[in-house]
Amino acid sequence: MYSTPFLDLPPLEAASGTVRLPGSKSISNRVLLLAALAGGTTTVHDLLDSDDTRVMLNALSALGCRIGREGAALRIEGLDGQLRTASAKLFLGNAGTAMRPLTAALALLGGEFELSGVPRMHERPIGDLVDALVQLGCRIDYLGNPGYPPLAIHAMSLDALQVDAPIRVRGDVSSQFLTALLLALPLASASREITIDVVGELISKPYIEITLNLLARFGVVVRRQGWERFVIPAGSRYRSPGDIHVEADASSASYFIALGAIARGDVIRIEGVGADSIQGDIRFVEAARQMGAKVESGPNWLAVSRGAWPLKAIDLDANHIPDAAMTLAVMALYADGPCLLRNIASWRVKETDRIEAMAQELRKLGATVEDGPDFIRVHPLGAASWRAATIRTYDDHRVAMCFSLAAFNPAGMPVRILDPHCVAKTFPDYFETLFSVAQTADVPVICIDGPTASGKGTLAVATAYQLGYHYLDSGSLYRVTGLAMRRAGLEADAAHEAQIAELARQLPLRFIKGQVLLDDEDVSDAIRTEAAGMDASRVSALPAVRAALLALQKSFRRLPGLVADGRDMGTVVFPDARLKVYLTANASQRAERRHKQLISKGIPATLDSLRADLEARDQRDSSRSVAPLKPAPDARLLDNSSQSVEQSVEQVLAWWQEAQPFGSA
């Protein structure tokens, strides 16, 4: 998951491969609440691990629900309708799938509770749900603006509930209000049936289908009269189904269905959800087919590839796929005419005002967009009309994921996504999953070369962290090769050159969080000794070893980008790198840095000997016949003798920004 301020997506050209989707947010949080309310123990498999589900789990734990891990599954001991905690303050972030149903459930369960969230949650309406609960006799106060969270819920007796007359709830604001009542009211139906009447047109009907399906799994079968009346039978009681599996998220599938429709390449196979899904957003497949995508499906899988090109323009009532329809707005940029998405008023009360957000960000890409209270019309972009854009995400996961698809534009323009971490709400590994199937001929690379002890490794690690890029410590490759050479009883000479090269070709090497792992053994300390440094310098002078390691080094060039440090990254390994930095410092300064480093590890050393060793190594490395140490002709020179690491990182990032078309992030 990327926690950087922004993530730059280079121009992406094609895509193919298989993706496994995370569990559905809508199903996950419903299942968690139902398992907590039910009698018995429920084992939940394939639960989504995201911000929203963690919010729900934390709330249920605070209410006294016992939750434990059982391998990859979650084991929940149900409360059987009886809270173990009489009062609590619950922070629910921006999770509507937690705020709405918990409001209804806690209003009926008895106790004193405060429910709050992030500022945006306090802008999302909840008044219609509260009005419906107050009809019943529930006691709820607004702690801020009337009609919006935060809320104070007060204890009341189920016997005092007024459920003889139908409970009326508006259906044209959010289906989550009706879902919340359907999930909570079985708690009050021991001796009487309860009727809910929907006032106005019910939006997002497929989400109600999910709720009804899951209620039945937990033993409560609701009778439905069209979409206007729902009847909870008398004597309803939640019972654990024992084991329950969470479907993969059909809304998340929309991004990869769209990817298959717009990207060149072979099939995108999506595992975890199929055409028989209980989720309404699976109907996104129908819209994608209307636009020309080729889609095949089977039990728990979809296979998508490009069909009609450009995509066909559509005019669609998108009320049945409100979340997934956002993906269509970006697909519209690749269509043969304007696309109209209608009946999407609910977009305005989601994590952000999604109609406004989509319109603003699409315009940044160069598109002409018309929008109104419940529609958006998007005009396609010709190849010459695309612009590089910095996409604001509004702390909305779906905005971030939708606009990643703009990186496949025919103009070869990059796209910058601000606050990529917001995808943690439903799909924490979204960008990693996208990069696993996306293809490009131009993964950006930053090279940081320089002599020993110049600080290039520290600078490269910090720069890679700031950008969310992969990191390559080429010096470690040579040091690990030297270590493998010593362990094999070889010497860095011509007689053993072929054997050492074969060792180098097969190095099972990984860089993880500052560690260097050789076949899963942490060799970070073993390769940082002075002796290991000398071995690295010796093996690097062997042409066969250098050839063996060259391909290995190039394999680290992966999306979204790479920061590589060494002595010939910009001259030999990545001569086409977009930014090359040659980092140096005077020998005295480098010797002092190395001295402090060795002393901190308890290794005795003297400044004079370290300086002499560094100067000798510089001479040896700069005069060797193969890839001598020198700046690339187009490298930026950076003398950090009097700079802090932070200042050096700031300088490199400033140079990198100059090379981008986005301006300041």
398 is in an annotated binding site: yes
50 is in an annotated binding site: no
350 is in an annotated binding site: yes
Assign 322 to helix, strand or coil: coil
457 is in an annotated binding site: yes
Among 424, 439, 454, the domain-final residue is 439
Average pLDDT over residues 415-421: 98
Query: Pairing state of beta strands 229-232 and 268-271?
Result: unpaired
Cβ(210)–Cβ(278) under 8 Å? Answer: yes
The b-or-e profile of 94-118 (16+ CB within 10 A means b, else e) is bbbbbbbbbbbbbbbbbbebbbbbb
Is the same domain home to 17 and 138? Answer: no
Task: Please choose, from the candidates 268, 245, 195, 208, the residue with its C-alpha nearest in 3D space to the C-alpha of residue 20.
Answer: 268
Range(s) of the domain holding residue 491: 445-658
Active-site residue 568, yes or no? no
Peptide bond into 125 cis (omega under 30): no
Is the same domain home to 87 and 230? Answer: yes
Is the same domain home to 209 and 353? Answer: no
Is the same domain home to 241 and 307? Answer: no
Query: Pairing state of beta strands 515-518 and 509-512?
Result: antiparallel
Is the same domain home to 599 and 476? Answer: yes
Among 245, 264, 286, the domain-final residue is 245
Among 245, 270, 293, the domain-final residue is 245
Cβ(414)–Cβ(11) under 8 Å? Answer: yes
For residue 591, the model assigns a pLDDT of 62
Asked if residue 111 belongs to a domain, the reply is yes
Q: What is the DSSP letter of 378?
A: E
Cβ(135)–Cβ(162) under 8 Å? Answer: yes
Domain count, the chain: 3
Whether the pLDDT of residue 663 is over 80: the answer is no
What are 333-388's pLDDT values in tens digits? 999 999 999 999 999 989 999 999 999 999 999 999 999 999 999 999 999 999 99
Asked if residue 210 belongs to a domain, the reply is yes
Is the same domain home to 433 and 463? Answer: no
Asked if residue 1 belongs to a domain, the reply is no
Contacts (Cβ under 8 Å, ≥6 apart) of 235: 189, 190, 191
124 is in an annotated binding site: yes
Q: Where are the extended beta strands (E) located within 492-650?
A: 509-512, 515-518, 521-522, 562-566, 579-584, 636-639
* Cα 527 to Cα 444: distance, rounded to the nearest angstrom: 28
Asked if residue 108 belongs to a domain, the reply is yes
Asked if residue 665 belongs to a domain, the reply is no
Is the same domain home to 298 and 399? Answer: yes
* Cα 369 to Cα 285: distance, rounded to the nearest angstrom: 24
* Distance in Å from the first CA to the final CA of the chain: 19
What are 492-534's pLDDT values in tens digits? 999 999 999 999 998 998 888 778 999 989 999 999 887 898 8
Is the same domain home to 553 and 419? Answer: no
**Sequence letter at residue 216:** A
Q: Dihedrals φ, ψ of 141, to 5°?
A: -115, 145
Whether the pLDDT of residue 597 is over 90: the answer is no
39 is in an annotated binding site: no
Is the same domain home to 453 and 351? Answer: no
- The secondary structure of 202-271 as a DSSP string is PP-HHHHHHHHHHHHHTT---EEETTTEEEEPTT---B--SEEEPPB-HHHHHHHHHHHHHSBSSPEEEE
Contacts (Cβ under 8 Å, ≥6 apart) of 511: 471, 472, 473, 476, 517
Whether the pLDDT of residue 611 is over 80: the answer is no
175 is in an annotated binding site: yes
452 is in an annotated binding site: yes
372 is in an annotated binding site: no
Contacts (Cβ under 8 Å, ≥6 apart) of 592: 607
What are 124-149's pLDDT values in tens digits? 999 999 999 998 999 999 999 999 99
30 is in an annotated binding site: yes
Is the same domain home to 224 and 307? Answer: no
- Supply the angle between the helices 530-540 and 474-487 in degrees, to the nearest 10: 100
Q: Dihedrals φ, ψ of 547, to 5°?
A: -65, -40
- The secondary structure of 347-377 as a DSSP string is GGGSSS-HHHHHHHHHHHTT--EEE-SSEEE
Asked if residue 303 belongs to a domain, the reply is yes
Tokens (6 digits) for 323: 């979340």
Is the same domain home to 85 and 18? Answer: no
Tokens (6 digits) for 540: 């690097």
25 is in an annotated binding site: yes
Cβ(195)–Cβ(229) under 8 Å? Answer: yes
Q: Where are the extended beta strands (E) located within 546-601?
A: 562-566, 579-584
Is the same domain home to 297 and 219? Answer: no
Please state whether the predicted TM-score (pTM) of the whole model is above 0.75: yes
Whether the pLDDT of residue 577 is over 60: the answer is yes
What are 271-327's pLDDT values in tens digits? 999 988 989 899 999 999 999 999 999 988 999 999 999 999 999 999 999 999 999
Asked if residue 486 belongs to a domain, the reply is yes
Cβ(34)–Cβ(210) under 8 Å? Answer: no
Whether the pLDDT of residue 80 is over 90: the answer is yes
Catalytic pick among 323, 449, 535, 621: 323
Q: For the chain, what percent of residues have pLDDT higher than 70?
A: 95
